[in-house]
């Protein structure tokens, strides 16, 4: 903590000096005028700051304490908070619990699938077959001699409250039906989406669902004769409608967020038990496991550090929100957006160098327009991360400029920043952000934050690339390089 404070005290003082009027300030920071010229070319609200980690001094600072909407750069706060409080080796538990005794092969009670917020449980990127974790649970029950369950299968998502989405998420999230922003729950399975495949090789109906459970109502309104299909769930409904023409060859595939993710997880376990030859008399339901429930099997997740690239490199909103609310659950006893926001803000003020009034998290992903932060607060988080034992895990989670494996894949290509700048992007309507680390031409390490709110997000993206290259080309003792215009205005989500 002492190292962090030593770095943050000169940061605050230097930024105050850099932001003061010219008559009050000392010599301006070395790149101040060049940076100001770049941002003034794009009208809107800006907060931009660059800080030398090696020299503990500001390179440029523009409106560092102005509070703006951060979009997905908000995920930096989420990952720093989770790494501080949970640690990189933290693993989530998803438990199969049972009540009642086993008599003559019959469990005289209920089964409970209890989650702790694990975003990777049954996740396609980490599990070859998403049903496998549930099949293992079914096998463990069968190994105890159980062939029939008298009761029901309950999904227990009580680690989180039942507010599935934060306020002011984009309309395109469509009530959590959009794959990029599914609903958030204490018990999550398969990203809280159902996979729908449509094609001639999928039986009489032409549809194949994963998980194939009746608790997720799907209405097939497709027609034969070729064409293309689409799947949709209305924001306030639970039924998924599949419409259009079934392709004559090949398969159309969709992932649609479900309205009751905890129930879907319980239903998927019910299906795995049936597949294993275990008869379950009751249906899938939602409910909290009683204290007397006994552990049958515990699924242990991959470590938190292995999930962070999904959050930062890929800007995966689902992983960010699940980790955000899981940290709140362990810090505040309940994984809610409100408790998570207040505890994260307090943590960043007390431990991360942020000023009071400059961190207002409304969610963990940055989707909500109610999120507010300053460039200074985000910069403080980046500096804080450099002084922690989990620094390498954090750095490894960031996108690499020009690398095809993340949200910066179309940024900095063919420029000095390509392959060298590490960062986290942010983009929602009228918001564009880029934060991270850039080595100068002399390999001086620099942390930076570029936030923009306004009507020219495409122009802001190009300006942020110019700011990054300004840092990448900078040499001590040499005149700052001229800024070249960047014509690459393709958008990257996140």
Q: Kindly state the tokens that stand for 245.
A: 């023409």
Neighbours of 172 (CB within 10 A): 12
pLDDT, average across residues 335-351? 97
Q: How far apart (Å, rounded) are the C-alpha atoms in residues 273 and 266?
A: 11
- Closest by CA position to 308, among listed 71, 124, 78: 78
CB distance 74 to 87 below 8 Å: no
Sign of CA dihedral 76, 77, 79, 84: positive
Q: Kindly state the tokens that stand for 310.
A: 């999904």
Domains of the chain and any CATH numbers: 2-87+305-472 (3.40.710.10), 93-302 (3.50.80.20)
Secondary structure E strands in 90-247? 93-98, 102-103, 106-107, 111-114, 148-149, 153-156, 193-198, 207-210, 218-223, 229-233, 240-245
pLDDT, average across residues 318-331? 98
Q: How far apart (Å, rounded) are the C-alpha atoms in residues 269 and 385?
A: 39
| pLDDT, tens digit, 9 for 90 and up, residues 390-427 | 999 999 999 999 999 999 999 999 999 999 999 999 99
Predicted pLDDT at 21: 47
Q: What is the rounded average pLDDT for all residues in the chain?
A: 92
Contacts of 278 (CB under 8 A, 6+ apart): 138, 141, 142, 146, 147, 148, 149
Burial class, 108, CB count within 10 angstroms (exposed 0-12 / middle 13-18 / buried 19+):
middle
Share of the chain above pLDDT 70, in %: 90
Residues written for the chain = 494
The DSSP bridge pattern shows strands 207-210 and 193-198 to be antiparallel
CB distance 310 to 78 below 8 Å: no
pLDDT, average across residues 58-64? 98
Q: How far apart (Å, rounded) are the C-alpha atoms in residues 47 and 63?
A: 5
Contacts of 329 (CB under 8 A, 6+ apart): 116, 117, 159, 160, 186, 335
The number of angstroms, rounded, from the C-alpha of 204 to the middle of its chain's C-alpha atoms is 38
The residues that bridge with 255 in the sheet, in sequence order, are 195
Identify the residue whose tokens are 């941002």: 39
Q: How far apart (Å, rounded) are the C-alpha atoms in residues 202 and 445?
A: 54
CB distance 316 to 323 below 8 Å: no
Q: Which residue has the higher pLDDT, 19 or 32?
A: 32
| pLDDT, tens digit, 9 for 90 and up, residues 146-177 | 999 999 999 999 999 999 999 999 999 999 99
Q: How far apart (Å, rounded) are the C-alpha atoms in residues 450 and 47?
A: 6
The number of angstroms, rounded, from the C-alpha of 57 to the middle of its chain's C-alpha atoms is 31
Q: Kindly state the tokens that stand for 167.
A: 């306020």
Predicted pLDDT at 478: 57
Contacts of 317 (CB under 8 A, 6+ apart): 72, 180, 181, 365, 366, 367
| pLDDT, tens digit, 9 for 90 and up, residues 266-314 | 999 999 999 999 999 999 999 999 999 999 999 999 999 999 999 999 9
């Amino acid at each position: 903590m002492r190292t962090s404070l030593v770095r943050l005290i000169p940061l605050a003082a230097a930024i105050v000096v850099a932001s003061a009027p010219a008559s009050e300030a000392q010599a301006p920071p070395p790149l101040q005028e060049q940076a100001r010229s770049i941002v003034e070319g794009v009208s809107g609200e800006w907060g931009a700051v660059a800080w030398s980690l090696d020299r503990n001094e500001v390179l440029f600072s523009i409106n560092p304490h102005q509070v703006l909407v951060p979009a997905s750069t908000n995920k930096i706060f989420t990952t720093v908070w989770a790494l501080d409080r949970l640690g990189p080796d933290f693993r989530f538990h998803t438990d199969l619990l049972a009540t009642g005794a086993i008599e003559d092969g019959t469990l005289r009670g209920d089964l409970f699938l209890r989650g702790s917020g694990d975003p990777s449980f049954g996740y396609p990127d980490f599990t070859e077959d998403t049903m496998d974790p549930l099949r293992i649970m079914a096998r463990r029950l069968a190994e105890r001699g159980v062939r029939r369950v008298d009761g029901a299968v309950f999904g227990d998502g009580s680690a989180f409250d039942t507010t599935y989405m934060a306020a002011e998420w984009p309309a395109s999230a469509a009530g959590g039906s959009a794959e990029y922003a599914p609903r958030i729950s204490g018990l999550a399975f398969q990203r809280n989406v159902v996979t729908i495949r449509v094609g001639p090789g999928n039986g009489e109906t032409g549809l194949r669902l994963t998980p194939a459970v009746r608790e997720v109502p799907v209405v097939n309104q497709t027609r034969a004769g070729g064409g293309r299909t689409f799947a949709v769930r209305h924001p306030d409904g639970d039924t998924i409608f599949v419409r259009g023409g079934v392709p004559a060859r090949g398969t159309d595939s969709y992932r649609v967020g479900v309205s009751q993710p905890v129930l879907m997880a319980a239903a998927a376990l019910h299906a795995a038990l049936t597949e294993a030859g275990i008869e379950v008399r009751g249906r899938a339901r939602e409910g909290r496991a009683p204290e007397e429930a006994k552990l049958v099997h515990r699924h242990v997740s991959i470590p938190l550090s292995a999930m962070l690239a999904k959050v930062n490199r890929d800007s995966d909103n689902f992983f960010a929100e699940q980790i955000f609310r899981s940290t709140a659950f362990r810090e505040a006893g309940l994984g809610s957006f409100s408790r998570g926001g207040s505890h994260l803000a307090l943590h960043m003020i007390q431990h991360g160098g942020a000023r009071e009034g400059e961190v207002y998290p409304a969610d963990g992903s940055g989707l909500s327009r109610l999120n507010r932060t300053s460039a200074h607060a985000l910069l403080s988080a980046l500096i804080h991360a450099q002084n922690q034992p989990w620094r390498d895990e954090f750095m490894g989670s960031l996108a690499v400029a020009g690398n095809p494996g993340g949200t910066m894949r179309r940024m900095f290509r063919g420029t000095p920043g390509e392959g060298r700048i590490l960062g986290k992007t942010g983009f929602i309507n009228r918001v564009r952000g880029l934060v991270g680390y850039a080595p100068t031409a002399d390999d001086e390490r620099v942390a930076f934050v570029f936030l923009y709110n306004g009507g020219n997000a495409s122009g802001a993206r190009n300006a942020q690339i110019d700011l990054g290259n300004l840092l990448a080309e900078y040499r001590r003792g040499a005149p700052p390089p001229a800024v070249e215009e960047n014509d690459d205005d393709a958008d990257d989500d996140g």
